[in-house]
Amino acid sequence: MESMLNAVLEATFVSKCVLAFLLFMSVMSWAYMGGKWVTLLFAQKRTGRGLAAFDSAGSLNAALTGLERDTASPLFGITRRAVREFNRINTTGDAEKLLNDNVRRALHFGIAEEMARLKSSLALLATTANTAPFIGLFGTVWGIMHSFQAIAQMKNVSLATVAPGIAEALIATAVGLFVAIPATCGYNIFRSKLTSIEGVCITYAGQLLNRMQHEVAVHEAGLSFAGERQP
């Protein structure tokens, strides 16, 4: 460990800049992964709990009242869009015909909006995973070039004189991999969680549409949800 620290301290200015930038990328990616893990964990719990409550609710209005209590849930945003569109077309007198297309599109837009919010800044993690090894490789190439220039000025060259410079240069590649591997694992884990959340949202959207169609078939009445008033 001490020899590695000495190698870093004796590195060229460019190599030190590369290592400092990789360290910055590592700190930022770990901070982002910590925050995103908490966000997706709560979103996954909220969507699962919301879907279960929606299934067990006796009526659509009762189900919507339950969903209103958790405004941070992705299901809240999806439902608000769908109810707004449902109430709008319900006043036209042609709700039965428009419900399938218009509300379905509103649900689709709602899911896309919520998933975009959950996916926000995920590209930064992918960028870190893809670029960190190449940034480290740049530091290594630069260090090796500097070592070869120093070797060319030596009269007596041996493995003992060449090895320290090469080892110093290779540290940048090792650090680049150290930054990229956790970022790649985190990105793949988050993509899996996002797919799971999106699947629950799609299931919920289908059930909500079915209940709205049943609501129209039974009686033409508006729905109340998060500020949406009955006409």
Mean pLDDT of 96-118: 87
42: pLDDT confidence band, cut at 50, 70 and 90?
A: very high
DSSP 102: I
Structure tokens at 69: 């209590």
- In this model, does residue 147 exceed pLDDT 80? no
- In this model, does residue 157 exceed pLDDT 70? no
- In this model, does residue 132 exceed pLDDT 90? yes
pTM listed for this prediction: 0.81
CA distances from 123 to 23, 28, 42, 65 (A): 19, 13, 21, 36
Structure tokens at 114: 């919520």
What percent of the chain stands above pLDDT 70?
A: 79
pLDDT of residue 52: 92
Q: How far apart are CA 208 and CA 189, in angstroms?
A: 29
Mean pLDDT of 33-46: 95
DSSP 100: I
